[in-house]
A and B are shown apart, each in its own frame.
Chain A
Amino acid sequence: MKVVTVLLAACCVPLALAQESAIRQSKTDHSTYAALAKAPVSARSRGNPFAGDPQEVTAGGKLFEQHCAECHGPKAGGTRHGPSLLLDPVQQASPGTLFWILTNGVVRRGMPVWSKLPEQQRWQLVTFLESLKPRASGSASR
């Protein structure tokens, strides 16, 4: 009986906490983007080695679909679990800032660190995010 209680507690407590954490998320909450401002100057000024390369945009799109679309939506417009990446705070951020956020995550707000992806793949993701810029103004006005 004791074992069953321990097992139930082990399974239910994390689920309850996860629910609480998810409810706090919001895809348009602008405080979500506050983490972008925390990128240090040295990180912000880094340039994207793949900037504008269509091959890298395609590769970045594939990586986005595999790792990011679940939370940020298939078109990066956001879901209940992750903010839109089409809004100005993201689209006006420097490539270095986006790379820094990908590397460090926003752990308190539920975004995991993605430094497990090699640096090149994180830059490919940044290249893809930058390619969404033309659509950003339309999305931001929603």
Chain B
Amino acid sequence: MISALFVKARQAFACGCLLLLFLSCFRGSLLAQESPYIVTYDHYLEEPGSLEVEYFSTFGTQRAGNDFHAFWTEFEYGVNAWWTTELYFDGQSTFSDSTLFTGFRVENRLRLLQLEHFINPVLYIEYEQTSGADKILKEIEGHDVESDFDDSNGVLRQEHDHELELKLLLSSSFKGWNVALNPIFTKNVSPGEPWEFGYAAGISRPLALKAMPRRCNFCGETVIAGLEMYGGLGDTRNPGLNNTSHYLAPAIAWNLPSDWTFRLSSGFGLNDNSHHLLLRWGVSREFSSFGELARQLFGGRK
């Protein structure tokens, strides 16, 4: 049983790697300058015409059940300088249980102001169709707690969520530091469900603010360190911190000149309702020629 689970997990991982390798055959790429945040968003959007393909994993501990490995793939496309759209596919493997595809998400981020200000707002709108077995924990909202995942995948997958999620991404960059705060408002579109609230906040800074004259892989300018905090704030029926979970997560991003970005984050639960550990890592690559290729494919001018 366990060996079958590992085979499935390996297959999912291999598919993600193959996809990234296939896409790496595209010409035209530009160096990503990605933040280390995995949950929090800053106000920077994808460059117009660029496609960023990202694979992320989350290993989570589960006290009254089996630990799990949740994973998702993101396709992030810069429509223009004020609009970025994303498509996610989620899945998970629960140890001694099963591996599942758990749903998809479509999100859009819209820049609200043309010029940079001390605080820059971006509107985030997401529609997600997931099962109760979705464990990527990309955001924590309402009364999301560790015990939600105590049941087996067979039970959890019976629940279907169709959610509309709104976030206001507030972010500020000053003297090399970035500070971001995302209030979250989520509504399950099923009738009678309350609005749920949550938050994510982050702070980050490159290890070096000046670029070196020579090309370098591992130097201060390519490494960005940060800290995230995220959690739920109840819902319209029972707002507040009662029966909510919260996490503090140091994070690091390594932006390679070869256009690849690696991220690592270790989230520690801050109360008894939280998973003890959410260890996340991700790899991404940006393809700046994607929009051009798509235009040619659909008969646009060359």
Q: Are A18 and B291 in contact, CB atoms less than 8 angstroms apart?
A: yes
Given A17-B79, A17-B80, A104-B116, does the pair A10, B33 have CB atoms closer than 8 Å?
Answer: no
Residues of A with C-beta under 8 A to B212: 59, 62
In the complex the two chains form, what is the Cα distance from A3 to B105 in whole Å? 11
Q: Is B176 an interface residue (CB 8 A)?
A: yes
Residues of A with C-beta under 8 A to B45: 112
- Give A25's nearest chain B residue, CB to CB: B48
Q: Are A107 and B106 in contact, CB atoms less than 8 angstroms apart?
A: no
Q: Which of A6, A11, A18 contacts B49 (CB 8 A)?
A: A18
Q: Are B291 and A115 in contact, CB atoms less than 8 angstroms apart?
A: no
In the complex the two chains form, what is the Cα distance from A60 to B35 in whole Å? 21
Name which of A6, A60, A70, A105 has the most chain B CB atoms within 10 A of its CB.
A70
Residues of B with C-beta under 8 A to A59: 210-213
Q: Are A110 and B81 in contact, CB atoms less than 8 angstroms apart?
A: yes
Q: Which of B35, B111, B129 contacts A107 (CB 8 A)?
A: B111
Given A19-B300, A112-B45, A124-B210, does the pair A62, B215 have CB atoms closer than 8 Å?
Answer: yes
Q: Which of B83, B209, B295 contacts A19 (CB 8 A)?
A: B295
Task: Tell me the B37-88 residues at the A interface (CB within 8 Å).
Answer: 42, 44-45, 47-49, 77-83, 85, 87
- Give B115's nearest chain A residue, CB to CB: A104
Q: Are B47 and A120 in contact, CB atoms less than 8 angstroms apart?
A: no
In the complex the two chains form, what is the Cα distance from A130 to B129 in whole Å? 51
Interface string of A96-137 (1 = CB under 8 A from B): 000000011111111111011111110010000000000000
Q: Is B206 an interface residue (CB 8 A)?
A: yes
In the complex the two chains form, what is the Cα distance from A84 to B215 in whole Å? 25
Q: Which of A11, A23, A58 contacts B301 (CB 8 A)?
A: A23
Q: Is B221 an interface residue (CB 8 A)?
A: yes
How near does chain B come to A132, taking the closest CB pair, in angstroms? 17
- Give B295's nearest chain A residue, CB to CB: A19
Residues of B with C-beta under 8 A to A3: 104, 129
| CB-based A-B contact count at 8 angstroms | 128
In the complex the two chains form, what is the Cα distance from A103 to B206 in whole Å? 17
In the complex the two chains form, what is the Cα distance from A82 to B295 in whole Å? 17
Residues of A with C-beta under 8 A to B210: 59, 118, 120-121, 124
Residues of B with C-beta under 8 A to A110: 48, 80-81
Q: Are A21 and B80 in contact, CB atoms less than 8 angstroms apart?
A: yes
Q: Is A63 an interface residue (CB 8 A)?
A: yes
In the complex the two chains form, what is the Cα distance from A107 to B114 in whole Å? 6
Residues of B with C-beta under 8 A to A124: 210-211
Residues of A with C-beta under 8 A to B80: 17-18, 21, 110
Q: Are A10 and B301 in contact, CB atoms less than 8 angstroms apart?
A: no
Q: Are B209 and A112 in contact, CB atoms less than 8 angstroms apart?
A: no
Q: Are A115 and B49 in contact, CB atoms less than 8 angstroms apart?
A: no
**Could you jot down 21 A-B contacts, CB within 8 Å?**
A3-B129, A14-B79, A15-B298, A18-B79, A22-B49, A23-B300, A62-B214, A62-B215, A70-B28, A81-B49, A104-B115, A105-B81, A106-B81, A108-B114, A109-B81, A112-B44, A112-B45, A113-B116, A118-B176, A120-B211, A124-B211
The 9 closest A-B pairs by CB, nearest first: A66-B31, A58-B213, A118-B209, A14-B79, A118-B176, A120-B210, A107-B81, A59-B211, A59-B213
